[in-house]
Structure 1
Amino acid sequence: MRKLYKHFYSMASSSCGNEIFACILLSFLYVGSLYIWTGSRGRDHPSTIKKRCASVFFMTIISPFFVVYFLNEETREKATLPQLLGIRYDGVILSAILPLLLTVILFLGPIIQNHQNIPLNSTLLIYLQPRYWYNSSQNPIWWRNQVVAPFSEEFTFRACMLPLLLQCLSPMSAIFVAPLFFGIAHLHHAIDRVKLGLPFTTVVIVSFFQFVYTSLFGFYSAFLFLRTGQFLPLFIVHAFCNHMGLPEIRELFNKPEKQRNKLVAFHALGLIAWYLLLFPLTEPSWYSNELYSL
């Protein structure tokens, strides 16, 4: 027991203690801001969504103050605060296009699977219709999933946490540490599932799967931040992934054999192409990224 205590004490007093504390505090405040509103309405009720959106908007305002407070002198001398947070003009156009293209390639299989019965060009035409965007803008759930959540989560858990962690961790270590705060922060959804009356075992399994999925996405998002030095691609890619949702693996394997094999091939092709293009399409020089390196 004494050895275990010494182990945790040494971790807390290490050179990363302040940075880890700042990230834990930011995570706690972000999730806590969602539950300051009392009421029995579900998370998808318009009233709940509006209140929680106001909470995370407040978090996007105060999060940079944590960065300023916990920055060391060496980091302060490297760049301005907006630059550290990935807010700059140089390379911003490419950062809005190439990381999204890379992510679309990753989702090649799911995209083909989702449009087997609907021509892809028909779907693309839908996105070009003003009526689609007007109807979406009237839906509070769409605003939460496609705008507010991607923006606030990426800003707090990536743009604000990574500059702090990079003060004491290598870029590769920071990529794997930062998403853990993001994954743990999503465990609060277990509370909503319990309120819905789901069995405890189901809540545990679903929450664990969500933790793994959000952490994996967090690795990818942190990688994009360090490679591009930009915040914008994180927001766009996150919104796209929320729009796509999880791949329907169970549905895939319920398809007829010939159709299933074709879809599996597209999934594999997308994954391989994404891997081969991961570094070329995130070349730091394309985004004028001289601050972060990986």
Structure 2
Amino acid sequence: MADESIILPPLASLPQIPTVISVSCSFTLAVIYVGSLYVWSTKHNRDHPTTIKRRFASVSCVMLMAPLFVYFFSSPELLQREPFPSLLGFRWQGLWQAIVIPYLLTALLFLGPIFVNMQNESFRSYFDLEAWRGSCTSIIWIRNLVMAPLSEEFVFRACMMPLILQSFTPMTAVFITPLFFGVAHLHHIAERLSVGMELSTALFIGLFQFTYTTLFGFYSAFLFARTGHFVAPLLAHALCNHMGLPDVQDLWQQNLWRRVLAIGLYLVGLAGWIYLLPVATEPSLYSNKLYWNV
């Protein structure tokens, strides 16, 4: 008898885990991640090398622990069907696409700021070997562009999303997990209060940070669900941390024609990003048949 090919059912047809389990696990992961930042008793601020090194150790432990939630609370059928690394977004199929396409898409969103940076000294540092050496030896640079994106995307995307996606549709999951991500950044309010900042100012900055981290979380979760790759939101996160929020003051310091051109590029970048988002994240480009089947 000829061997019959086995057709695996889509994720949506598998028994789902209860919503209370996926949400509870995600909430617990968020609490553990934030709590790990404060297990050390220190008088230094968050930018002191000692504080940063200790927090590196803490979040590294959380990264080792987080996959256990996925392993022990996922449906047995899913674990039998898919290699465990694939659930976390680690797979070979579509890897180069996941590295290149989402990164370029994210860069398009920053088309205006990139143009502005090209007009000042900061752009020249990209071609300065000494500047790169200085950055790579700066523990703050490593935190902002390496460790923070790596640990946050691994915990909040690679480990939370597989759980939430077993209880909700992909689009619903995209809107749920960023809330944990945004709330996890509210701890900065306490840090600002500890250095003497007024409560009203700390709350305003904290709520503003919650807003833009949540918005980025939507995008990052969308990239993970659509591509099925961890590297896609990781690189997007690193690029966003590097670019930061647009510097309006720097924009208005340009002469008139450059300012007009820059504003135009801001709008073109945003419009192009919105238009290309569904196209550039088409799951078939990344051989993603696991997390996005709607």
Query: What TM-score, normalized to structure 2?
Result: 0.89
Query: 1:85-100 alignment to 2 at 5 Å?
Result: 85-100=88-103
CA contact (8 A) 2:186 2:206 kept: yes
Counterpart position of 1:252: 251
| Correspondence 1:117 to 2:120 | yes
Separation of aligned partners in 2, 1:109 and 1:78: 45
Structure 1 position 163, deviation (Å): 0.7
Question: Secondary structure at the residue paired with 2:185?
Answer: helix
Structure 1 position 123, deviation (Å): 4.7
Separation of aligned partners in 2, 1:147 and 1:254: 31
Paired letter, 1:245: G
Counterpart position of 2:4: none
* Residue deviations 1:102-152 (CA, integer Å, cap 9, x gap): 0000000111122223495x45423xx3x3332222111011111111000
Moved more, 259-268 or 211-220: 259-268
Counterpart position of 2:242: 243
CA contact (8 A) 1:182 1:214 kept: yes
Moved more, 248-257 or 282-291: 248-257
Q: Percent identity?
A: 45
User: Between Structure 1 and Structure 2, how many residues are aligned?
Assistant: 277
Counterpart position of 1:11: none
Paired letter, 1:69: F
Q: Which of the residues 22, 27, 30 maps onto 2:25?
A: 22
Structure 1 position 219, deviation (Å): 0.4
CA contact (8 A) 1:91 1:288 kept: yes
Q: Which of the residues 57, 60, 63 maps onto 1:57?
A: 60
Counterpart position of 1:230: 229
Query: What TM-score, normalized to structure 1?
Result: 0.89
| Correspondence 1:66 to 2:66 | no
Separation of aligned partners in 2, 1:197 and 1:264: 37
Question: Secondary structure at the residue paired with 1:67?
Answer: helix
Task: Flag the 1:16–1:119 CA change in 2: closer, same or farther, 3 A.
Answer: closer
Alignment root-mean-square deviation, CA:
1.8
Q: Which of the residues 72, 76, 86 maps onto 1:83?
A: 86
Paired letter, 1:125: F
Counterpart position of 2:280: 281
Structure 1 position 282, deviation (Å): 1.5
| Correspondence 1:167 to 2:166 | yes
Structure 1 position 196, deviation (Å): 1.6
Separation of aligned partners in 1, 2:96 and 2:67: 24
CA contact (8 A) 2:102 2:223 kept: yes
Paired letter, 1:169: F
Structure 1 position 279, deviation (Å): 1.8
CA contact (8 A) 2:125 2:131 kept: no
CA contact (8 A) 1:78 1:291 kept: no
Unaligned stretches of 5+ in structure 2? 1-16
Question: Secondary structure at the residue paired with 2:40?
Answer: coil
Question: Secondary structure at the residue paired with 1:279?
Answer: helix
| Correspondence 1:104 to 2:107 | yes
CA contact (8 A) 1:176 1:219 kept: yes
Task: Flag the 1:133–1:125 CA change in 2: closer, same or farther, 3 A.
Answer: closer
| Correspondence 1:142 to 2:144 | no
Query: 1:153-192 alignment to 2 at 5 Å?
Result: 153-192=152-191
Task: Flag the 1:160–1:116 CA change in 2: closer, same or farther, 3 A.
Answer: same
Separation of aligned partners in 2, 1:49 and 1:103: 27
Counterpart position of 1:6: none
Unaligned stretches of 5+ in structure 1? 1-13
